[in-house]
Amino acid sequence: MDIDDIEQITVLGAGTMGHGIAEVAALAGYEVVLRDINDDLVTEGYEEIEWSLGKLAEKERISDEVAETTLERIRPVVDIEEATANTDVVIEAIVEDMDIKQEVYADLSEAAPEDAIFASNTSSLSITDLSEATDRPEQFCGMHFFNPPVRMELVEVIRGEHTSDETMDTVVDLAESFDKTPVRVRKDKPGFIVNSILVPLMNEACWLVESDTATIAEVDSTTKYDMGMPMGAFELGDQVGNDVTLHVLEYMHDVLGDVYEPCPLLQRYVENDRLGKKTGEGFYDYENGGADVPADQTSDEVRERLLATLANETGKLIEKEVAPPADIDEAVKLGAAFPSGPAKQCDEAGLDGLLGKLETLHEETGAARYEASDGLRTAAADGGFYADDGEDGNDEDRAGPTSSTRSVSSTPARWSGRSSSTGPTSSTRSISNSSRSSSRHSTRSRPTTTCGQSS
């Protein structure tokens, strides 16, 4: 299957991510089938898309006409055979349960055309294991979007053990045709790149509060107004869904051990159905004003603890060769709208100090999460995550020839020779809309939209 062969996309699951992905695909000009297990769920998802398109039009990100034609491209369906009979790509965004997903993939294998590609939006589950539940493991990969899909620019494209090069290339092209920036994830590791950084960060935020070291207001004030994240850590947790964060963490805990022991605070919020925006209440009350993050409660201790967590997790991704520092920074900046990537931020803060902080915390608490990773120790000894490669993580160093064109990924020296984060023909691409009119999909009517880019 080539990108030019793709006309119809089926999205399985009409929840937050599923309907968001369906909206992105329809905005890109594809015919989209949105499928869920009953009429109520699929209708709810469809109405959410209608709301979102209305909002984008209200904010003048798209025209009213584009909002209307985009909605017309989406067909809500319940029957799985009807949903997949003529499809080219199935993007699965159903409940994060391996058994349920495997059952659905077995049905899907029977219903979908032989050459259709299957891509899973799982936040963390093994792409290899999922692919083995299908009749086409080589036509299977991860395609991980970020919440809200219509606003976040990143898509992680994850290679499972059986994924063919052709499938990876087509899905990378597909993500680009969605006006997203794909980053190839080279190892099928729980959490991939961005959740491997964000989820432990969220867990540490919870431990700070659980241990009475800081309040939710202090953590959010620090993350938003000192570290420059677009939302406070707890505000982000509410946006993502506390059940989703806990699920990823539990999976990382199962597969990778006690380092990822979930904080009881997070577990209590989930047990009490305080899941975040979607249930009206999480760490903040969305029926009564929502998140109100104070600008004046920043804390040096919170900043240091969270940066130490970022440094440790960045070290693990590099040590395990999941991605080099430049790709990690790129992915986190695009997937979570960080102003600066974790490798660069931690280099600037000083890896020696952050390593010392982890060692002190480990001595004081004995908790596995404070064991410093080899990747961090090596980078600290080298003088920084970028020191070895003659890079300092400055965006300017990676800028393309014009202001509207930038390199998606520069591959540091020690990674050269391995495949870069983007395909061989797409190491540099424009993110401006004008360039997209000459894309492979020039025959499909494409609305002009900036909504795929995070602000």
Interface residue list for ligand CAA (CB under 6 A): 20, 52, 55-56, 123, 146-148, 150-152, 195, 198, 230-231, 236, 239-240, 244, 335-337, 454-455
| Nearest alpha-carbon partner for 224 in 337, 341, 357, 342 | 337
Instruction: Respond yes or no: is residue 121 known to be catalytic.
Output: no
Q: Which residues pair with 185 in a beta bridge?
A: 158
230 or 353: CB nearest ligand CAA: 230
Report the nearest approach of ligand CAA to the CB of residue 52 (Å): 3
Which residues does residue 428 pair with via DSSP β-bridges, in sequence order?
407
Q: Active-site residue among 52, 120, 121, 123?
A: 123
The sign of the CA dihedral 113, 133, 331, 294 is: positive
Shortest distance, position 87 Cβ to ligand CAA, whole Å: 24
Q: What's the rounded Cα separation, in Å, for the pair 47 and 152? A: 20
First to last CA, the chain: 33
- Among residues 51 and 367, whose Cβ is nearest to ligand CAA? 51
Q: Which of 23, 92, 124, 144 is catalytic?
A: 144
Residue among 30 and 146 whose Cβ is closer to ligand CAA: 146
Clarify whether 410 is annotated catalytic. no
Q: Pairing mode, if any, of strands 140-144 and 117-120? A: parallel
The residue annotated as part of the active site, out of 23, 48, 92, 156, is: 156
Of 124, 195, 242, 410, which one is the catalytic site residue?
195
Q: Which residue has the tokens 């440790």?
A: 312
For the sheet with 74-77, list strands across it.
74-77, 31-35, 8-12, 89-92, 117-120, 140-144, 154-158, 181-185
Closest to ligand CAA by CB, 33 or 152:
152
Give backbone dihedrals phi and psi of 207, rounded to 5 degrees, phi first.
Answer: -65, -35
Task: Pick the closer one to ligand CAA by CB: 148 or 350.
Answer: 148
Spatial distance between the Cα atoms of 64 and 58, rounded to a whole number of angstroms: 8
Minimum CB distance to ligand CAA, residue 294 (Å): 17
Measured CA to CA, the distance from residue 345 to residue 96 in angstroms comes to 31
**Residue 366 CB burial class (10 angstroms; 0-12, 13-18, ≥19):** exposed
Alpha carbon distance 51, 448 (integer Å): 19
Is 123 one of the catalytic residues?
Answer: yes
Measure the CA–CA gap between 13 and 101, rounded to whole angstroms.
11
Q: Name the residue nearer to ligand CAA (CB basis): 30 or 338.
A: 338
CA 383 to chain centre: 29
Minimum CB separation from ligand CAA for residue 152, in Å? 5
CB of 335 to ligand CAA, least distance (A): 6
Least distance in angstroms from the C-beta of 451 to ligand CAA: 7
433 part of the active site? no
Question: What's the min distance (Å) between Cβ of 4 and ligand CAA?
Answer: 29
Residue 143 CB, nearest approach to ligand CAA (Å) = 12
Extended strands (E) in 14-80:
31-35, 74-77
| C-alpha–C-alpha distance, residues 217 and 335, integer Å | 24
Q: Let me know how long the chain is.
A: 455
For 212, residues 6+ apart whose C-beta sits below 8 A from its C-beta are none
Q: Say how far apart CA 187 and CA 160 lie, in whole Å.
A: 7
Q: Which is nearer to ligand CAA, 216 or 229 (CB)?
A: 229
Catalytic residue numbers read 123, 144, 156, 195
